Structure 1
Amino acid sequence: MRDFPSCFGESGVQIADSSSSSSTHKSAHNLVTCLYQAPRRGGCWCLITITWSKSLMGQGLGVSVDECSNNRSLGRLDIKPWLFSKKKGSKGLEFDGSRMDVFWDLSSARFGSSPEPLEGFYVAILFDLEMVLLLGDMSKEAYCKTGTSVAPRSDALFVAKKEHLFGKKVYCTKAQFRDNGKAHDIAIEFETVGLDNPCLEIRIDKKRVMQVKRLVWKFRGNHTILVDGVPVEVFWDIHDWLFDPAAAKAVFMFQTSLSGDDKLSPWSCSQAFGGAQHLSFSLVLIAWKNE
C-alpha cells in the first residue's frame, strides 16, 4: 500500500499521524480548515487558509496567507468567536508592500453541525483592492461592500479541506470534488459483524462505492472510486478504532487530481503553482468514535 500523502503542509498535520491522544478530541473537533490557491500580482501564487471554528462563545474565523514558493508565512487575521457582535466587518493586513483585506458578513448565516456556514454569508479576500477569493452565496452584497465590480479571478482554486466528524457507526459530511461541481453526500459506516469481521463501507449520495472486509488485516489501505466521472483515490487508516480504543479516531482522505495525475501531491507547490494547473484536491476526514 502506498503511504498516505501529506496534507496541510508544514502548518498542519500528516494524514497518517495517529499519535494524538483523545485529549485532542475536545479541542479540535470544532474546526474546519479549507485551503485555496490564489494569485498575486507579479505572477506569484499564495495559499489562503480559511479556518472555521466554533466554541461556547460562538463562531470564529481565521485567515492566513503563505507564499507558495518557499512556504513563508505572509500574515494572519483572526476574527474571534462572537455571540452578538463581529458578525460582519472587515480587517486589513500589510505585507511585502502589498495589502490584504478581508470582508465578511455572517449575520444571516445558516449553520449545520459543522462550524462552516451553509448559506446566507460571504467572505471576500482582496489583494491590493483586487478580489481574489469569494466564499458564500451573497456575491452581490460582497461586490457592493468591497467596491469591486468584477468576478474573482478564475484561477483561484480550492485545494484541500480538513474536517472532524463524530458518530458511533456512521459519519456523514458533504464534499465538492471539483470547482463548480456538485456537492455530494459522503457517508462512512463502520460495522462489526461478529467479533472477528468488522466491515468498512463508504457511500456517495447513498450509493455504495466501496466496501472493505477483514479489517483486522486491512486497517490501512487505498482504493480508487469514480465521482462525477473523475477518479478519486480513497485512503483509510482505522488502526486506532480496532487496536487503540482510547484514541477513538480514524483518518480518511479522498484525493482527486484536476489533471488526472494522481501521483502529484497537493502540496508540491513548485510543481503545482509553477504555471500549469496540475493541482489535486484532498478531503481529509478525522472520524471520532462517540461511545
Structure 2
Amino acid sequence: MFAHLPGAEPTNYTKPSSTEKETEEQTTNKSPQISVTYIYTVEVAELLSNVTVTWNKNVMNCSLSISVENPLDESHYTCKIDIKTWQFWGKKGLKSFEVDGKRVDVYWDFRQAKFSNHAEPLSDYYVALVYNEEVVLMLGDMKMDAFKRTKKRPSLTEPILLCKKENVYGKRSFCAKAVFQKDKTEHDLVIEFSLSGLGDPEMGITIDGFEVIRVMNLNWRFRGNENMKVDDVGVQIFWDVHDWLFTGSSTSHGLFILKPAAEEGGDDKVGDGRHCRGNDGGMYDSPKERSSSTPG
C-alpha cells in the first residue's frame, strides 16, 4: 500500500536500456547478498508501531527498505530506496506513503556517504522518517542536516531498538557491531572458526578485542549457549551451527543470537531462533560462502 503523494520532491532517474537492466539483474541474482535488519518501536501516525529497517547489499547495488506495521490490523506499509553507489543522482530524495490513511515522509541523503563491505553505510548520511511536525526515526550521523532540511523537530517519544539481525557470508570469520546497554555504546563483535590440532572445528568469540568464549569440539557442541559479561552487563549468546557444519548446500546457515541476560527468575528460553526478544538484542545469521564471494 505504497503511494506517492503531492508535494514530494522528485528524484532524478534515468531509465536503463533493456539490455543494461537484464545484465544488471543477472549479476545481482548471482551475487551473494548481505543484509542487516533493525526493528524499532516507533510512535508514527499516532500509533505505537514496529518499524523494520533493512539494508541490503550485493556487488552491484545497495538498497534500503522501511516497513511500518499497523498494530491495529497487522498490515504493513513499505518504502524502498535503491542506492547505486557509482551514480550521483538518486542519492538525495524524498518519498511519501500512507500509514493508516496518514501521510509519512522519508527523507534521505547519501551523496557523501561512505560505504564499506557492510550492508549499511559507515558514516556521512541520514535517513529521516517524518510524520506531521516530528522526525520520529533518525538513521545515520548527519542529524543536524536532516533537521535543517525537514524543518521538523525530534519526536518526544524516543524510538526503542528491539532487535538487530545480520546476514553475512564468510568462510572463517565475520565482524559486527552490537549494543548491550541503554547508553547505546557500540561494541566490536568477531566470531571466528578454526581447526584444532586434532582437526576438530572450534569457535571463538571476541568483543572489543578480548576473547569471551572459546567452544572446543564444535562437531559435538554445534548447538549451545553461554553467559558472559560486557561492561558488567550480563549477555547471553546462543548458537546453532549444525547446518553450517554438516549440510553441503552453499545456503546453509549458522545462527547466533545475543541478548541481555534475563533477570533472576526471568525466562532464559530463546525459542526457535526466529524472533529476537528483549531490548537491544542482536541476531546474527551467517550462511556458508558461495564460490563467487570474497573470503571473510
Normalised TM-score (structure 2): 0.76
Residue pair 1:165, 1:172 contacting (<8 A) in 2 also: no
- Show CA shifts across 1:9-37 (max 9, x none): xxxxxxxxxxxxxxxx9666322211111
Q: Which residue of 2 aligns with 1:288?
A: 287
For 1:236 and 1:165, how far apart are their aligned partners in 2? 15
Deviation for aligned residue 1:194: 4.0
For 1:265 and 1:125, how far apart are their aligned partners in 2? 34
For 2:92 and 2:224, how far apart are their aligned partners in 1? 44
1:35 equivalenced with 2:39 (yes/no):
yes
Residue pair 1:259, 1:279 contacting (<8 A) in 2 also: no
Q: Which residue of 2 aligns with 1:15?
A: none
DSSP-derived class of the 2:75 partner: strand
Residue pair 1:252, 1:284 contacting (<8 A) in 2 also: yes
DSSP-derived class of the 1:241 partner: helix
Letter of the structure 2 residue corresponding to residue 136 of structure 1: G
| Residue of 118, 122, 128 corresponding to 2:132 | 128
For 1:41 and 1:261, how far apart are their aligned partners in 2? 37
Deviation for aligned residue 1:60: 1.4
For 1:132 and 1:266, how far apart are their aligned partners in 2? 30
For 2:238 and 2:37, how far apart are their aligned partners in 1? 19
Number of equivalenced pairs: 254
For 2:141 and 2:165, how far apart are their aligned partners in 1? 21
Q: Which residue of 1 aligns with 2:9?
A: none
Q: Which residue of 2 aligns with 1:176?
A: 179
Q: Which residue of 1 aligns with 2:50?
A: 47
For 1:105 and 1:261, how far apart are their aligned partners in 2? 46
- Show CA shifts across 1:121-170 (max 9, x none): 0111012232111111111110011111x333353111111112233222
Deviation for aligned residue 1:186: 0.7
Q: Which residue of 2 aligns with 1:241?
A: 244
Map 1:15-164; keep pairs closer than 5 Å.
29-40=33-44, 42=46, 44-68=47-71, 72-82=74-84, 83-148=87-152, 150-164=153-167
1:256 equivalenced with 2:255 (yes/no):
no
For 1:265 and 1:145, how far apart are their aligned partners in 2? 45
Q: Which residue of 2 aligns with 1:3?
A: none
Deviation for aligned residue 1:227: 1.8
For 2:157 and 2:215, how far apart are their aligned partners in 1? 39
- Decide whether aligned partners of structure 1 residues 161 and 60 sit closer, same or farther in structure 2, where only a CA change above 3 A counts: same
Letter of the structure 2 residue corresponding to residue 143 of structure 1: F
For 2:260 and 2:72, how far apart are their aligned partners in 1? 23
Residue pair 2:160, 2:279 contacting (<8 A) in 1 also: no
For 1:191 and 1:84, how far apart are their aligned partners in 2? 42
| Structure 1 portions without partners, runs of 5+ | 1-24, 268-277
- Show CA shifts across 1:201-244 (max 9, x none): 10001101111112222111111112232211101011023211
Superposed CA RMSD in Å reads: 2.8
- Decide whether aligned partners of structure 1 residues 78 and 45 sit closer, same or farther in structure 2, where only a CA change above 3 A counts: same
DSSP-derived class of the 1:118 partner: coil
Letter of the structure 1 residue corresponding to residue 109 of structure 2: D
Q: Which residue of 1 aligns with 2:194?
A: 191
Percent identity of equivalent pairs: 34
Q: Which residue of 2 aligns with 1:7?
A: none
1:223 equivalenced with 2:230 (yes/no):
no
- Higher mean displacement: 134-143 or 171-180: 171-180
DSSP-derived class of the 1:142 partner: helix
Residue pair 1:255, 1:282 contacting (<8 A) in 2 also: yes
- Higher mean displacement: 25-34 or 117-126: 25-34
Normalised TM-score (structure 1): 0.77
For 2:263 and 2:206, how far apart are their aligned partners in 1? 25
For 1:211 and 1:26, how far apart are their aligned partners in 2? 35
Residue pair 2:45, 2:104 contacting (<8 A) in 1 also: no
Residue pair 2:38, 2:53 contacting (<8 A) in 1 also: yes
Letter of the structure 1 residue corresponding to residue 281 of structure 2: S
